């Protein structure tokens, strides 16, 4: 069928009104974002409803997404829209609906940049699995490693690191009267604790008083990177997981040799080789998270494969270290700022140490005698 106008007229019309046509497309794009799924009814900043670049801007400028998020809630209330497809809830009552068992909600692509690459393909661990079914299947296979009983039984793996840390703190900082960067020093401590829980051995950060293989600095960089790209996960496909990077890994031209991955692979290979001296024992019991995961892997070989165990081990080292370090650093900071709370806590701990079993450092098992409820300052009541 012939067009009512000639091709030439159509092209000249388009080129004459190119700016107008582009403007209409841009307007349609932003209008679609603004009215997306009726979310325009949810209060929030106007620019935030139009584009994810709004959040990226705030993260880059302020480096703290949560600070901006808190500000939004103060201004707009419990429910705030601050992305075309993003609504934030600050009321704890929403927790059950969002995270409760059986909820139809899945994790958003926000988590994708956290996924590690393996041979050119992104590979998920528990934290980064988006779909509910695979997540709950995997979770079932590893849940026993994180049960209360398991965690308390792993405590003997924490104690030697605490003892080493105290020795080193006294030697390096106290005796020399040297100022301590608690944030950095706690990062090394927490990383050694988590790797000891995981593999019964550490990278030796506390021992060497050094960020071994630059792992902690890399984590620092990674969290800065993640905080930006997670606002718009597609960006990760052009940066960390760009096609060139993927091709190089897939073709074997580049092998990622990140220290924590190599460390995990070595530990797993040692366990598989079954050299009994390499299997950690504790009163004749085999124990640490890796041992437990490998045991569980025998029961669930389809889910907890060797590759998944490696990925999970590396992700736990990261999932458990930075936040633990930050938490302890914050506790130290607030105790130093509140001498009254500090005094109360010390009296309580001294009393527990004097009247409980003579363990050093004081263990949860020892404190159980006192029951946590009798140590209100140790469980961080308001100062
Ligand atoms: C103060 C310390 C910690 C804090 C504040 C913390 C906080 C969290 C939060 C908020 C999540 C949920 C993340 C999400 O789905 O968006 C999470 C998940 C997780 N954490 Fe922790 N965590 C801490 C310590 C640890 C430690 C010590 C380990 C391991 C030894 C660990 C292992 C994990 C794992 C494996 C997940 C993924 C669970 C899942 O997706 O089902 N965390 N953590």
pLDDT tens, N- to C-terminus, the chain (383 residues): 566 778 888 888 888 888 888 899 999 999 999 999 999 999 999 999 999 999 999 888 876 778 888 999 999 999 999 999 999 999 999 999 998 878 889 999 999 999 888 778 888 889 999 998 899 999 999 999 888 888 888 888 998 999 999 999 999 999 989 999 999 999 999 999 999 999 999 999 999 999 999 999 988 898 889 999 999 999 999 998 999 988 888 888 877 667 888 888 889 998 888 766 667 666 655 689 999 999 999 999 999 999 899 999 999 888 889 999 999 999 999 999 999 999 998 888 888 777 765 555 555 545 554 444 455 555 444 33
Supply the pLDDT for residue 380: 42
Supply the pLDDT for residue 231: 93
d(Cα 85, Cα 50) in Å, to the nearest integer? 10
Residues with Cβ within 8 Å of 203's Cβ and at least 6 positions away in sequence, in order, are 191, 192, 195, 212, 213, 215, 259, 263
Q: Tell me, using a 6 A CB cutoff, whether residue 282 lines ligand 1.
A: no
Pocket test for ligand 1, best of 131, 193, 303, 319 (most atoms within 8 A of CB): 319
d(Cα 287, Cα 5) in Å, to the nearest integer? 80
DSSP character for 174?
I
Asked if 187 contacts 321 with a C-beta cutoff of 8 angstroms, the reply is: yes
Residues facing residue 80 across a β-bridge = 88
**pLDDT tens track for 137-180:** 999 999 998 888 888 888 889 989 999 999 999 999 999 899 99
Q: Tell me, using a 6 A CB cutoff, whether residue 126 lines ligand 1.
A: yes
How is residue 131 written in tokens? 């779909």
**Where, residue-wise, is CATH 1.10.630.10 in the chain?**
126-321
Burial per residue of 319-354, b for 16 or more beta-carbon CB atoms within 10 angstroms, e otherwise: bbbbebbeebbeeeeebeeeeebbebbeebbeebbe
pTM (2 d.p.): 0.83
Q: Tell me, using a 6 A CB cutoff, whether residue 233 lines ligand 1.
A: no
Residues with Cβ within 8 Å of 101's Cβ and at least 6 positions away in sequence, in order, are none
Q: Tell me, using a 6 A CB cutoff, whether residue 161 lines ligand 1.
A: no
Supply the pLDDT for residue 287: 81
CA–centroid distance, residue 212 to ligand 1 (Å): 23
CA–centroid distance, residue 6 to ligand 1 (Å): 64
DSSP alpha helix (H) spans, 230-305: 243-250, 259-272, 289-299
Which of left, alpha, beta for 178 (phi over 0: left; psi -120 to 50: alpha)?
A: beta
What's the full length of the chain, in residues? 383
Q: Tell me, using a 6 A CB cutoff, whether residue 106 lines ligand 1.
A: no
CA–centroid distance, residue 320 to ligand 1 (Å): 6
CA–centroid distance, residue 272 to ligand 1 (Å): 27
Which residue's alpha carbon is nearest to atom 39 within ligand 1? Answer: 127
Supply the pLDDT for residue 277: 67
CA–centroid distance, residue 140 to ligand 1 (Å): 16
The architecture in CATH of the region 126-321 reads Orthogonal Bundle (1.10)
d(Cα 280, Cα 23) in Å, to the nearest integer? 66
Helix (H) or strand (E) holding 142: helix 132-142
Q: Tell me, using a 6 A CB cutoff, whether residue 324 lines ligand 1.
A: yes
Could you give phi then psi for residue 138, rounded to 5 degrees?
A: -65, -40
Supply the pLDDT for residue 171: 95
Q: Tell me, using a 6 A CB cutoff, whether residue 136 lines ligand 1.
A: no
Task: Indicate the angle between helix axes 306-337 and 259-272, nearest 10 degrees.
Answer: 120
How buried is 240 (Cβ within 10 angstroms: 0-12 exposed, 13-18 middle, 19+ buried)? middle
Supply the pLDDT for residue 371: 46
Supply the pLDDT for residue 375: 53
d(Cα 154, Cα 149) in Å, to the nearest integer? 9
């Amino acid at each position: 069928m012939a067009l009512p106008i000639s091709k030439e007229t159509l092209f000249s019309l388009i080129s004459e009104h190119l700016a107008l046509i582009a403007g209409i497309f841009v307007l349609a794009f932003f209008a679609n974002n603004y009215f997306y799924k009726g979310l325009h009814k949810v209060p929030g900043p106007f620019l935030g409803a139009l584009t994810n670049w709004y959040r990226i801007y705030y993260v880059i400028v302020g480096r703290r997404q949560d600070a901006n998020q808190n500000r939004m809630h103060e201004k707009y209330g419990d429910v705030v829209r601050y992305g075309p497809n993003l609504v934030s809830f600050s009321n704890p009552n929403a927790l059950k609906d969002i995270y409760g068992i059986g909820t139809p909600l899945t994790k958003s692509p926000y988590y994708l940049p956290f996924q590690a690459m393996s041979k050119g393909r992104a590979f998920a661990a528990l934290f980064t699995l988006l779909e509910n079914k695979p997540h709950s299947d995997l979770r079932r296979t590893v849940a026993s490693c994180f049960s209360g009983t398991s965690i308390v039984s792993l405590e003997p793996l924490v104690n030697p690191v605490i003892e080493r840390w105290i020795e080193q703190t006294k030697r390096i900082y106290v005796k020399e009267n040297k100022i301590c960067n608690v944030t950095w020093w706690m990062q090394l401590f927490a990383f050694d604790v988590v790797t000891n829980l995981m593999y019964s051995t550490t990278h030796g950060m506390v021992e060497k008083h050094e960020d071994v293989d630059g792992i902690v600095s890399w984590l620092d960089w990674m969290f800065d990177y993640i905080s930006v790209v997670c606002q718009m996960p597609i960006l990760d496909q052009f940066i960390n997981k760009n096609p060139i990077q993927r091709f190089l890994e897939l073709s074997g031209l580049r092998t990622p040799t990140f220290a924590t991955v190599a460390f995990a692979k070595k530990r797993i290979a040692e366990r598989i080789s079954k050299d009994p001296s390499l299997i950690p024992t504790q009163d004749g019991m085999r124990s640490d998270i890796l041992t437990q995961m490998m045991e569980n892997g025998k029961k669930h070989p389809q889910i907890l494969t060797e590759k998944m165990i490696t990925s999970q081990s590396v992700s736990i080292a990261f999932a458990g270290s930075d936040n633990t370090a930050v938490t302890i650093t914050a506790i130290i900071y607030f105790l130093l700022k509140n001498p009254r709370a500090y005094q109360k806590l010390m009296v309580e701990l001294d009393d527990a140490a004097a009247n409980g079993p003579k363990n050093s450092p004081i263990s949860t098992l020892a404190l159980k005698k006192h029951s946590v409820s009798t140590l209100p300052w140790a469980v961080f009541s308001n100062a």
